[in-house]
């Protein structure tokens, strides 16, 4: 890339954001990070801005000179959005409005927005509602201000650097620390899991001209029942863990991936070559074990210092 394009990534220190930063850098872009938290992974950012998407002046400073923006920052956990709806509305909707305004002012070539397949369903609570509102606002900005966009609706992501809100990481933590997996529901729920690295690569691909002003679904190639996933994890642990299914009153998560019923509303983008889910699970498990080792090692250091 002769004249390197400059990209702002909000939420750059997070699960999805940090991987998108990696692949943008690998693809030859200059990347500016923007997040509430310092990155915990070594990255080649040309700038990093530790701030909030509700701070418009900070956004203006970060976005200056950029060609594209990936807006990933926001309240992404369904339970958190249900517990704190005011926060979800302020951060997800008003924060997005701030990024849109700055993108127009600075004449960016593309606004890439991280949405969710929950927009297709009646589930997802306030999280889904805020994402739907943002999508409509982005579409209106294109009509009024000619701001090109790509809306990326992500499916079930998993992989390295995930937090404890992530389903597969949470399952592996239960297996590793409790020798038991408690699953609310009957395990018949269906997901199309995609490794975060594959999702990040596809997220960089959407900067191609063909994806301008389109809605894209980024998801895995194969459907899998939760019960099948848990059986695979049990086999990884050499059948030494117990799986318990409990009744669930959960009304906010889908049973079957909702876009399966309305594929005409967006273009589905899946990786041609992809990380096998078994391999991906082992990577997350290795990461958890490494964290456990570091935690144990630090505890020993603390005990020695006290002594």
Q: What is the pLDDT of residue 256?
A: 52
Domain with 153 in it: what CATH number?
A: 3.40.50.720
The boundaries of the domain holding residue 20 are 6-294
Q: Is the model's pLDDT at 302 over the cut of 50? A: no
Q: For 58-69, what is the mean pLDDT? A: 98
Within a domain: 307: no
Q: Is the model's pLDDT at 299 over the cut of 60? A: no
Q: What is the pLDDT of residue 174?
A: 95
Give, in degrees to the nearest 5, the angle at Cα 292 between 290 and 294: 70
The Cα 180–Cα 240 span in angstroms is: 9
Within a domain: 253: yes
Within a domain: 302: no
Within a domain: 300: no
Q: What is the pLDDT of residue 2?
A: 54
| pTM strictly above 0.85 | yes
How many domains is the chain built from? 1
Within a domain: 123: yes
- Condensed to tens digits (0 to 9), the pLDDT of residues 8-24 reads 999 999 999 999 999 99
- Condensed to tens digits (0 to 9), the pLDDT of residues 130-161 reads 999 999 999 999 999 999 999 999 989 999 99
Q: What is the pLDDT of residue 270?
A: 85
Within a domain: 115: yes
- Condensed to tens digits (0 to 9), the pLDDT of residues 84-141 reads 999 999 999 999 999 999 999 999 999 999 998 877 766 678 888 999 999 999 999 9
**Minimal CA–CA distance to 100: which of 132, 61, 53?**
53
User: What does the CA dihedral 38, 43, 49, 50 come to, rounded to 10 degrees?
Assistant: -10
- 231 by Cβ neighbours in 10 Å (0-12 / 13-18 / 19+) ranks as middle
**Minimal CA–CA distance to 47: which of 213, 39, 114?**
39
Within a domain: 256: yes
Within a domain: 278: yes
């Amino acid at each position: 890339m002769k004249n390197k394009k400059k990209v702002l990534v909000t939420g750059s220190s997070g699960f999805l954001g940090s991987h998108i930063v990696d692949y943008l850098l690998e693809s030859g872009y200059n990347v500016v990070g923007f997040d509430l938290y310092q990155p915990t992974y070594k990255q080649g950012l040309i700038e990093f801005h530790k701030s909030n998407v509700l701070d418009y002046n900070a956004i203006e400073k970060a976005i200056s000179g950029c060609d594209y923006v990936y807006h990933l920052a926001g309240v992404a956990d369904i339970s958190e959005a249900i517990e704190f709806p005011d926060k979800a509305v302020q951060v997800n909707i008003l924060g997005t409005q701030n990024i849109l305004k700055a993108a127009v002012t600075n004449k960016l070539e593309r606004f890439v927005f991280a949405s969710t397949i929950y927009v297709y369903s009646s589930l997802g609570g306030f999280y889904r509602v805020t994402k739907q509102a943002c999508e409509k606002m982005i579409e209106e900005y294109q009509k009024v201000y000619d701001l090109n966009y790509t809306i990326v609706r992500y499916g079930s992501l998993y992989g390295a650097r995930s937090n404890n809100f992530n389903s597969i990481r949470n399952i592996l933590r239960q297996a590793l620390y409790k020798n038991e997996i408690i699953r609310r529901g009957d395990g018949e729920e269906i997901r199309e899991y995609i490794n975060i690295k594959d999702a990040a690569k596809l997220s960089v691909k959407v900067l191609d001209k063909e994806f301008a002003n389109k809605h894209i679904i980024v998801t895995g190639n194969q459907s899998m029942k939760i019960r099948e996933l848990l059986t695979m994890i049990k086999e990884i642990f050499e059948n030494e863990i117990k799986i318990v299914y409990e009744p669930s009153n959960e009304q906010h998560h889908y049973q079957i991936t909702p876009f399966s019923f309305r594929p005409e509303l967006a273009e589905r983008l899946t990786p041609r070559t992809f990380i096998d889910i078994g391999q991906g699970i082992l990577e997350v498990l290795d990461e958890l074990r490494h964290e456990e080792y570091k935690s144990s090692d630090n505890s020993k250091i603390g005990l020695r210092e006290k002594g």
